[in-house]
Amino acid sequence: MKYYPPKHRQEGFHCPHCGVYASQKWLRVLSGVSQDNLKRDERFDICVCSHCGQRSYWYKQNLVDPPEVSVVPPHEDLPEDCKLDYEEARSIFAASPRASAALLRLCVQKLLLHLGGSGKNINADIKELVEKGLPILVQQALDYCRVIGNNSVHPGEININDSPDVAASLFDMINFIVEDRITRPNQIQALYSRLPENARSAIQKRDSTSSSA
């Protein structure tokens, strides 16, 4: 999921309010000493999101309200209980990458519950999922989040406040995990369920015959 950050006079980007990629309507700002002497004030712009209807305010081509969030929004299939932590991590990222990473560690812990883990111990859950056949790239993404998240809670070799790009990468990793473990299986299952019932029954019969042979 590519992220398009808010950009001055751009016709579409991810809204800083709702986080959805949507078309944007730009409004001119007029100023003057009286209504008879109004003219376009080039310093100011107002932008309205077509999805949520909320306004963003710009000064000299820079977004000033709401404050710009420089990291990607959550994957649309991220479970709601995880999404709360993700959004909070986004909102404080600029002020404290370390605190943001700590929240994302909690987000990953909750996400593991949705992936078949206990949601109690990240390391143990990853080990259990690997034993069940978790793809290596997903394992590496989870362990990346685990190690960086642990450094945010118990500072070690990585100073996250000095390396905000490291904390920012956690958002991408979480979205990758959701895409691979939740979105793609759901998409395939939805397409497969549209096959004729007799075709699906034949496939099931074929596979049950193969396993018993």
Q: Considering only residues 203 and 71, tell me which one the structure prediction assigns the higher pLDDT.
A: 203
- Report d(CA 117, CA 133) in Å as an integer: 13
Q: Where are the alpha helices (DSSP H) in the chain?
A: 80-92, 97-114, 122-131, 136-153, 164-178, 184-192, 197-212
Phi, psi of 123 (to 5 degrees): -60, -45
Domains recognised in the chain with CATH numbers: 12-65 (no CATH), 80-192 (1.20.120)
Q: What is the pLDDT of residues 45-58, one digit of tens each?
A: 999 999 999 999 99
Tell the residue number behind the tokens 């960086």, with chain if given: 148
- pLDDT of the residue at 66: 84
State which amino acid sits at residue 128.
E
pLDDT band at 40 (very low <50, low <70, confident <90, very high): confident
**What is the average pLDDT score of the chain?**
88
Mean pLDDT of 193-203: 93
- Report d(CA 79, CA 111) in Å as an integer: 7
Kindly report the number of other CB atoms within 10 A of residue 46's CB atom. Answer: 13
Helix (H, G, I), strand (E, B) or coil at 195: coil
CA-based radius of gyration for the chain: 23
Q: What is the pLDDT of residues 116-168, one digit of tens each?
A: 999 889 999 999 999 999 999 999 999 999 999 888 877 666 677 667 788 88
- pLDDT of the residue at 212: 55
pTM (2 decimals)?
0.71
Mean pLDDT of 25-49: 85
